[in-house]
Amino acid sequence: MSIARTINVELGDRSYPIIIGSGLLGGEFDLSTHIVGEDCLVVSNETIAPLYFGKLKDNLGDKTIESLNLPDGEAYKTTDTMHTILDKLVEIGANRDTTVVALGGGVVGDIVGFAAACYMRGVNFIQVPTTLLAQVDSSVGGKTGVNHAKGKNLVGAFYQPSVVVIDTDTLATLPDRELKAGLAEVIKYGAICDIDFFAWLEKNIAVLVNRDSEALASAIIRSCEVKAEVVAEDERESGRRAILNFGHTFAHAIEHCMGYGKWLHGEAVAAGMVMAAKLSAIDPGEVDRLCALIELAGLPVAPPKIAADQFLAAMSVDKKVMHKQLRFVLLKSLGDAFVTSSYNDDVLHKLLSASG
């Protein structure tokens, strides 16, 4: 076991550590100290549990462990699935002292976190993310929730975990397509607020795609540092945190219009970031730089074919919409994002029409 780094998310009495390392699961790492009571429910899915549930059990000492496996896929990120978790908690007689552990990618983490937030108005919750996307983004920051038939992540709560445990070895079993999707969120951090990290990614993208473990660990650490810092500053997204949604207004519309699961979240974010960069008043050379990096990561730089009116309608249910006005995260320059409701409507329409 080797812990490469512990990063704290500073949120007063709800602060928590993100522990990043290799060989944590199934090793000497003691997670039982983070289980407040005597029992826990580990929620995973049918793909991940056979790979990692047995190892995770070894980290939980003599705690009483119940488990539940959800069906796999974004299509199951629904209130129905959340109910199966609530039903299980009732069935095992869980109380306020029960800890709920999410073992999996962003889908598992988001649903399980929401169930933990709701059960008895909130029980202790631990994130053990197993995809690159979940390790660099969704497991940190406390956004939990499920999709609604009308839009992505429309139902949810801010609910922070008490610890995030990132075992970088879990990436070894992650399919290539999922690894690349995670790289989209990594690139996002460089694009929105860290041009040096962006430049580092440009140099290291080939080794990252080839799963070099040191490079991946560095990318995860820097991504978690940025996310922790932004969340600490604005936990409930009343201001700066919204920059983390760079590309996401377009991305959520792409995911919604294509049907959840067809385009991976990270793939939609990649195309969405290019669209957002094109809507920004920046040097075209910087748009090209972003496109080049996204392409080298093996990710799409253009959206799929969606009729412009359908695209726009899907964007209008975005949570950033205020007073019926769309708001976008745009770039002042590469490495410097801001949120605005003033953008060039003609450019937006051209971007949407080009897709349909």
User: Which parts of this chain interact with ligand NAD (CB under 6 A)?
Assistant: 45, 47-48, 51, 72, 74, 77, 104-108, 110, 130-131, 133-134, 137-138, 141, 143, 153, 170, 173-174, 178, 181, 265-266
Q: Where are the alpha helices (DSSP H) in 119-194?
A: 132-133, 176-193
Q: Specify whether 66 is catalytic.
A: no
Q: HEC string of 77-114?
A: CCHHHHHHHHHHHHHCCCCCCCEEEEEECHHHHHHHHH
Our CA angle for 12, 336, 345, nearest 5°, is 115
Alpha-carbon gap, residue 340 to 327, rounded angstroms: 5
Shortest Å distance, C-beta 279 to ligand NAD:
21
Task: Give me the catalytic one of 34, 88, 180, 265.
Answer: 265
Q: Closest CB to ligand NAD among 34 and 227?
A: 227
Q: Closest CB to ligand NAD among 110 and 235?
A: 110
Q: Specify whether 204 is catalytic.
A: no
Inter-residue contact 253 to 315 (CB < 8 Å): yes
Q: Write the DSSP assignment of 192-209 as a string of letters.
A: HH-HHHHHHHHHHHHHHH
Q: Specify whether 222 is catalytic.
A: no
Shortest Å distance, C-beta 179 to ligand NAD:
10
Task: Give me the catalytic one of 77, 88, 222, 227.
Answer: 227
Task: Give me the catalytic one of 178, 237, 255, 267.
Answer: 237
The residue among 200, 207, 139, 133 whose CA lies nearest residue 171 is 133
Q: Specify whether 248 is catalytic.
A: yes
Q: Write the DSSP assignment of 19-48 as a string of letters.
A: EEEES-TTSS---GGG--SSEEEEEEETTT
Shortest Å distance, C-beta 140 to ligand NAD:
7
Q: Specify whether 121 is catalytic.
A: yes
Q: Specify whether 323 is catalytic.
A: no
Q: Specify whether 349 is catalytic.
A: no
Q: Specify whether 83 is catalytic.
A: no
Task: Give me the catalytic one of 59, 180, 245, 327.
Answer: 245
Q: Write the DSSP assignment of 263-301 as a string of letters.
A: B-HHHHHHHHHHHHHHHS---HHHHHHHHHHHHHTT--S
Q: Closest CB to ligand NAD among 68 and 282?
A: 68
Q: Which helix (H) or strand (E) holds 339?
A: strand 336-340
Q: Closest CB to ligand NAD among 47 and 162?
A: 47
Q: Specify whether 227 is catalytic.
A: yes
Q: How far out from the chain centre does Cα 224 lie?
A: 11
Q: Closest CB to ligand NAD among 35 and 112?
A: 112
Task: List, by residue number, the catalytic residues.
Answer: 121, 143, 185, 227, 237, 241, 245, 248, 252, 265
